[in-house]
Amino acid sequence: MKTQPKSVLITGRRWFDSSGNTYFSANGYINGEAVARIEYEYGYGDHYVDAMTNKLEELGYMPNRKHYDNGGAEPGWQYFRDQRSIPFNYEVSDVSRKKDL
């Protein structure tokens, strides 16, 4: 188990291919330090937040995260912000070229 974070930030970049599919990259920061990166993954909307939240759990930053019978799990904002009063922020930018992910 890692030390409990004081802040969490997730940043994402989204790219839309010519067929309308959406891909993203994401970075996870704990206490201002980069701790995780997702290079290239399919997913639209705010999926980059869910994917990075899962990565942070894998890395040990979310002990005792609730998992549900339907396959879902407690979202990052609920786990960090609502349950533990830890600032949880995320932001995304759309890029026009795949290589900018």
Give buried/exposed letters for 20-56 (b at 16+ CB in 10 A, else e). Answer: eebbbbbbbbbeeeebbebeeeebeeebbbbbbbbbb
CB 94 within 8 A of CB 23: no
- One digit per residue, the tens of pLDDT, for the chain of length 101 reads 577 899 999 999 999 999 999 999 999 999 999 999 999 999 999 999 999 999 999 999 999 999 999 999 999 999 999 999 999 999 999 999 989 98
pLDDT at 50: 97
pTM of the model: 0.92
Nearest in space to 26 (alpha carbons), one of 13, 17, 44, 8: 13
Domains of the chain: 8-100 (3.30.420)
Q: What per-residue confidence (pLDDT) applies to 1?
A: 58
